Amino acid sequence: MGEENRTYTQEEVNELIEAYERQNAELTGRAEAAEKASAKTRIQTDFISKAITAGIKYVDDAYKLADLSELQVTKTEIYGMDDAVKRLAVERPYLLHEEETKKARRTQRSIGGPTNNSK
């Protein structure tokens, strides 16, 4: 007689349900951990790309110092990275390549300072 015709007791059914629920919880936990790891890798990759484009020389240090708390991360997009990199470059210009630091200094104006630099 095959398994398809077998009759299960309520206790056996309960054991099968518990085993299924344990396995489901374990697999769900693994999937969530994999999603978090994937999101972290995507954030790091996006940061590195945008930091290099922005002229940041010390990318690893910059990543550690960056405030990425405002990022919105979906399965396909990361929103707010451009702003985070720009803010970091302004707040910590020593992370930039020398020429980028000079550009940042030239474009910064003090409050109440001259607005016409053609003189």
pLDDT of residue 41: 94
pLDDT of residue 5: 81
DSSP 60-98: HHHHHH---TT-EE-SS-EESHHHHHHHHHHH-GGGB-H
**Chain mean pLDDT for the chain:** 86
Q: What is the pLDDT of residues 13-58, one digit of tens each?
A: 999 999 999 999 999 999 999 999 999 999 999 999 999 999 999 9
Task: Quick: pLDDT tens for 47-96.
Answer: 999 999 999 999 999 999 999 999 999 888 999 999 999 999 999 999 99
pLDDT for 4 equals 74
110 has a pLDDT exceeding 90 = no
